[in-house]
Structure 1
Amino acid sequence: MPFKRSLVQRELDDSSSDDDDYMIFSAARIMHTYSNTKRSHGGSVLGHRVIYRDREGGHNRMFQDYLAVNPTYGPQIFRRRYGMSRELFLRIMNVVEAHDDYFVQKRNAANVLGLSCFQKVTTAFRMLTYGVPADATDEYVRIGESTTLESLRRFIAAVVDIFEDEYLRYPNETDTARLLALGEQRGFPGMLGSIDCMHWAWKNCPVEKQGQYKGHVDKPTMILEAVASNDLWIWHAFFGMPGSHNDINVLHQSPLFANLAEGTAPQVNYTVNGHDYTMGYYLADGIYPS
């Protein structure tokens, strides 16, 4: 039995895992080949409908729309729909493909060319950008629901593995110097960034928890606290507090000032109105203390 499972897993790993149709067909075919039990039928799973999505044609249309030399939709529309420039998107897509073999286009067990990295990453971006359900991108991207969810899961894991150490961390001394210089250019010496909280709707919040997760927003939410510089570099993120909390309650429980309390934060020196300061500050609204 372990031998059979390893063969099935190897076959599926080598395939593109493009949708349930071919995965189920491949698994059924392999198990039929290596099983000693005689079955009354062969081929694909009985009652399972195979959808021909023309995945290769879908990739070609998407490529012409956004990545061709003369695309149908230019850089401005690309930025609006993807939430970033085309150059940044290509950088993320290429490093994700190099990091996780799942995003490499290959042929499945039926020798059919699978989904491209562009298709898998696009469907992940569409779900993250617009909050659409998993099957909402099928008509354009030509991708099955289960593959969409798997692409999203692997994409997020890859982005965290690749970029977390560089783009989601406390500022070091070099970063602090750059942030202070940017703040001083805009008339805020000693300013390290902007801090605020936002509410994220929890659509499927259990009924027994809705009172705890409702605040000034009339629906269950969870709160994200973030610190960002003017170029949208996120230096701090603290997520998951119930929506009944306000910003100052969240700040009291977040690890934002942990390094400062422990004496490990980078030194900040600046002068305002003849007073010398050794501690930076963040731009915030009126609910925060001085």
Structure 2
Amino acid sequence: MRKHVFMRIVNALSANDRFFQQRPDGNGRLSFSTLQRCTTALRVLAYGTSTYSVDEYLRMSDTSIRHSLKSFVKGSLNDINVLQRSPLFIEILEEYAPAVNYTVYGKEYNMGYYLADGIYPAWVTFVKTINAPQIQKHKLFAAQQESCRKDVERAFGVLQARFAFIKRPCLLWDRTMMGKVLMTCIIMHNMIVEDERETYLNYENIIAEFKEDNPTSISGEIRDRATNIALKNDLIEHIWQNFRN
């Protein structure tokens, strides 16, 4: 994480969270600074160490370090709220998206889709697996869909490499807090990727390839449950025709 990204987090917490604001304590002495509290939380997340291992380095007690970590992650969002705020879905949620045209089982479609699990809504842009499939056609579809999703799940290994806290046995006992820690790591990972993407090889070429000057209006279509069901059924038939042997 580069310095300006770290300072962006520090400044946002200092401006919006009273816990991270440096104030006098009961004895008139200044409390820990925003930099101390944020550095503490990030070191625990990045190195996966216990709070005792950084207390001497940052001159903070174990209790203060735990409070800093919990306060640092308490504002995290759940999956569905992140969906509503994700840059990936901004144009889709505003009912505009780049034109994507393809044919499945003889039918034309004009919106791309993402492989998802059961928590996501039944939108045209999400294709979910079939839970407990009974017939061979459905079993083949579920196997193909889930095998492709594994490629996405491997990206979790990248997240673990960046934040050792989620790679090692969890130091927290509260399940809700565990989820907030994971979401915080995902958000910070995305911030780092966004900040460093200009250093990626051929990044500009990729952007130029997918940039749309005049996005296609998809007003009213994205939440069409009937189209979602039709697309899923067509994909089932397409996979059965092409991969059953």
Q: TM-score range by the shorter chain?
A: 0.3 to 0.5
Name the larger-Rg structure.
1
| TM-score (norm: length of structure 1) | 0.35
Q: Could you say which structure has the higher helix fraction?
A: 2
Taking structure 2 as the reference length, the TM-score comes to: 0.40
The structure in which a higher percent of residues are strand is 1
